[in-house]
Structures are given as structure tokens and as C-alpha cells.
Amino acid sequence: MKQRTVLILCTGNSCRSHLAEGFLRSAGGIALNVQSAGSVPAGYVHPLAIKVMSEVGIDLSSHRSKPLTEFLDQTVDTVITVCGNADQVCPIFPGQLRRYHWPFEDPAHATGSEEERLQVFRRVRDEIRRVFEAYGAGFKDGIAP
């Protein structure tokens, strides 16, 4: 079975794309090579993204913020954008067969106390989890394109 590459894009590659990468990597198993990148990478993975993912047993501490240009010469089967800005500037990658746009609120813009910001991160994490676990399950079951 050939492992398919899925690239998840957002603008900063600091929150949403890493949350999605973590869930899809976990749900898709060995069928998928899941990566994430940004059109204008922030240069770091947001500490609250790492924290809320650790709460559900997924470790993002070794992730790094990457530019989408790292993938321009790689075969990518599916591109999923999780914000409008990335969707607008998304190039076509070699071998790309599918492209989806599933936008989510950016939790990095949350304000208030740390607990209030964590609540936003958790809500967005759970929204992303529902979508990407369902998509990943389709690969494990052999039904996703």
C-alpha cells in the first residue's frame, strides 16, 4: 500500500494546521504521511496548541513551523487549507489530486486570561478533531479518496 501525503496549510503554521496534523496523523495511521506548513510561517508552534493537544494525548512538542515552499518539489496527494488566507495563495503541488478547504477560527487571536484563551484553543481543537478524525478514519477503512 502506497503511503499518501496530505499537506495541511494555514497562514502561520503555528496552531490550526498543527492541531489538524496531529489528529490526522493519529487517525490515518500508516496509510498517510501527514505534514503541515504555512504561507507565512510564524516560526514557532504556539505553546497553547502544544498544551491542549497534550491534554488529549498527542505530542506536538517536536513540531516546527515550516514554509509551504519546503513541499513545492515533493509529491503531495491532498492539500487541505484550514484558513482563508492560505486557501487564496495555495499553489498546486506535484502529484496533487485533491484540494479541500475546511476553515477554522484562529485560536492564536484569542484574548483574555490564559484560562479564557485555553477555552478557545480547546473549542477549536475539538472542532478540528471531529473533522480530521473522521477524514482519517476513511483512510484506515480504505474508503477515503
10 has catalytic annotation: yes
For residues 30 and 25, give the distance between their C-alpha atoms in angstroms, rounded to a whole number: 8
What are the angstrom distances between the C-alpha of 75 and each of 37, 78, 80, 101, 127? 15, 9, 14, 19, 28
What are the angstrom distances between the C-alpha of 30 and each of 3, 39, 56, 94? 7, 27, 20, 21
90 has catalytic annotation: yes
Q: What are phi and psi of 65, to 5 degrees?
A: -80, 125
Q: Which of 90, 108, 118, 128 is catalytic?
A: 90
Q: Which of 49, 58, 79, 83 is catalytic?
A: 83
15 has catalytic annotation: no
Q: Which of 6, 10, 15, 37 is catalytic?
A: 10
Residues serving a catalytic function are 10, 83, 90
